[in-house]
Amino acid sequence: MSEFALSEIIVHADRRVLAAVVTHLCGDVAAVPDLRDRAQIEAKAAEVLPPFLDGSVQPSPPSDDVLQAAMNHAVGAVVPAAYRQMAREQAGIGPVEPQAPLDAPQGFHVLIIGSGVTGVLAARTLLELGLGNFTVVDRNPEPGGTWYVNRYPGCRVDTPSMLYSFSFDQDPDWPEHFSRQPELLRYVKAVADRSGLGERLRNSTEVVAMTWDETAQCWQVELRNVADGSTERVAAHAVIAAMGILRVPKFPDLAGRELFCGPALHTAQWDPSVSLEGKRVAVIGTGASANQVVPALAPIVDKLVVFQRSAHWMMSHPKYGKQLQGIEKALFQVPTYREWHRFSEGWKFGDGVTPLVQIDPNWPHLERSVNAASDRFRATLTAYLETQVGDRADLMEKCLPNFPPYGKRLIVDNGWYQALRRDNVRLETAPIVQVTETGVTTRAGHDDFDVLVYATGFQADKVLWPIQVTGRGGADVTARMEAEPEAYLGLAAADAPNLFITPGPNGTLGHGGNGILSAECHVRYIMESLRLLFERGARSMVVTDQALAEYNEDLLAKLPNFVQSLTTFDNWYRGDRDRVIAIAPKSLLEFWNDTRAPDPAAYEFA
């Protein structure tokens, strides 16, 4: 298996994950009588693993009872039985019944907009299910989506790589526990290559407009070649808009922003030809991208001033920034260890978090937390902050957030606090008054800079922009989405037959799971929707007004129960809107269940 002895490997295993492995491979709910007894767990592992390691015995899917016991061990708590099937599928434990082939009518053509994680997955799944008449278009010159566009220094995923990966391709030999942008881009491109998309993939091609053709019951789509500007029109019987919601850069509304004479870079529009070494650099913003770019720039610039409007909560993770090699890598070759590790991490980053974001209506301290568990978590995060800057009263005051955890996106510390301690770095909290030709003026004074960096995120409400979508009856779907972003299950818009937006408004989660899991949920729903369309012998399906209205009524009733909806602070989930429009007020399990298959009663067929 590796150059390491089994006895060396299991000593480095996570105790809970190893207990789940032992329980699974023994097929015995009582295999681990005491989860606290590491010595017993290691001894049992040493006893049971050898025949699985030499290949003489193959792991088999566990019974429901064994699965339940292993799930409980993996997270150190009782996991509701409702999670069993999701665990079998998403962790790769099995068995999972594959989706049946699609019996599409002859000539049925699907257009996929976007060749990032979701677009590539949708294309791969269509091929697997026997529908090969599709085209993938993307304005970028190669697949990769967000991992192609975002190339700023320090860019990486903030979800463990073993979790931020497709359930069918969990470990492409990840070099780090939290992979960097180049590795993630290679991963998406490799999946696209292995999927055999061939000439169906058309990069450097963007969608300008699409109009629903009532007579032909299809979308007439105008495409433009990004390189030469030439246009063409294609017909698509179904469209999967897999463009993502974090793609349109957001710039702050600052007086004089256009006056600055030097380079001004947005993290989502990075220009690698601009050298920052030895330069005076301003970073405007303190969110997720700033947390990664600031520690990367601090060692190479002459002066770095970080302009902060509000602090963010940050957590530590023992594996963040660490190489995945040696004995740790060997652990993932132990049969079922990778799968149970994935389940364990999925719980920590998923529904293990859900209780922390739900507002207790009787909780008296909403300015700091939303329930008792949230308050304890705040104390944990504050204690971590104190270990980083507790001896710096100036930084402690500036870095302590004044809102509950998860109100804004919770960030994994990428060396942020240590970067702020550097002599050449200053955290500026005085409000910006204006940008000038030479730098930035705040209420506290002026700084000259050579380069400005905008780490100010995205306009998450630009769901279909800049595509002009004209739907059934001439409805301006784009304008309607701009005015009031709404879609049934975050997927289906009114008067837009056979158009699936992934993710659309309130179409993803803000506290648990990850983008790839959401993509797998949405793509499954889309495939089952196409199956329903074909089985009905229909040519189009569109969400009914009643289904959309009832869904939105339920959505608006539940949103105020989640911390992201509190209005005493800003967050990207709400943006400039008066309500949260980016994320769904659901647990991960609810999200997974809601996207298993469409409800025929929610759609009108023609």
Q: What is the CATH number of domain 257-313+365-454?
A: 3.50.50.60
Distance CA 436, CA 448 (A): 9
Q: Is the pLDDT of residue 409 over 70?
A: yes
How is the chain split among helix, strand and coil, in percent rounded to 5? 35, 15, 45
pLDDT of res. 401: 98
Q: Is the pLDDT of residue 512 over 80?
A: no
Is residue 305 within 8 Å of residue 285, measured between CB atoms? Answer: no
pLDDT in tens, 94-129: 999 999 999 999 999 999 999 999 999 999 999 999
pLDDT of res. 3: 73
Distance CA 6, CA 45 (A): 9
Is residue 488 within 8 Å of residue 548, measured between CB atoms? Answer: yes
Is residue 175 within 8 Å of residue 324, measured between CB atoms? Answer: yes
What is 110-247+460-600's CATH topology? Answer: FAD/NAD(P)-binding domain (3.50.50)
Residue 531: name the closest of 30, 14, 48, 126 by CA.
126
pTM value?
0.97
Q: Is the pLDDT of residue 2 over 90?
A: no
287 burial class (0-12, 13-18, 19+ CB within 10 angstroms)?
Answer: buried
Q: Is the pLDDT of residue 548 over 70?
A: yes
pLDDT in tens, 386-397: 999 999 999 999
Q: Is the pLDDT of residue 292 over 80?
A: yes
Q: Is the pLDDT of residue 1 over 70?
A: no
In degrees rounded to 5, what are phi and psi of residue 365? Answer: -125, 50
Question: What DSSP state is assigned to residue 169?
Answer: B
Distance CA 331, CA 9 (A): 6
pLDDT in tens, 564-576: 999 999 999 999 9
Q: Is the pLDDT of residue 199 over 60?
A: yes
Give the helix/strand (H/E) hosting 261.
Answer: none
Strand order in the sheet with 468-470: 231-236, 218-225, 205-213, 468-470
pLDDT in tens, 446-478: 999 999 999 999 999 999 999 999 999 999 999
Question: What DSSP state is assigned to residue 323?
Answer: B
Question: What DSSP state is assigned to residue 322?
Answer: -
pLDDT of res. 356: 96
| Bridge partner list, 210 | 221, 469
pLDDT of res. 193: 96
Residue with tokens 């302590």: 400
pLDDT in tens, 7-41: 999 999 999 999 999 999 999 999 999 999 999 99
pLDDT of res. 143: 97
Reduce the DSSP state of residue 11 to 3 states and report it.
helix
Question: What DSSP state is assigned to residue 172?
Answer: S
pLDDT of res. 342: 97
Sign of CA dihedral 430, 399, 348, 91: positive
79 burial class (0-12, 13-18, 19+ CB within 10 angstroms)?
Answer: buried
Residue extent(s) of CATH 3.50.50.60 domains in the chain? 110-247+460-600, 257-313+365-454
Q: Is the pLDDT of residue 511 over 90?
A: no
Q: Is the pLDDT of residue 158 over 70?
A: yes
Q: Is the pLDDT of residue 513 over 80?
A: no
97 burial class (0-12, 13-18, 19+ CB within 10 angstroms)?
Answer: exposed
Taking the CA of residue 379 as centre, how many other CA atoms within 13 Å lie in the half-sphere pointing to its CB?
A: 6
In degrees rounded to 5, what are phi and psi of residue 225? Answer: -75, 120
Distance CA 321, CA 329 (A): 15
Distance CA 579, CA 177 (A): 35
Strand order in the sheet with 201-203: 201-203, 134-138, 110-113, 238-241, 499-501
pLDDT in tens, 247-283: 999 999 999 999 999 999 999 999 999 999 999 999 9
pLDDT in tens, 490-505: 999 999 999 999 999 9
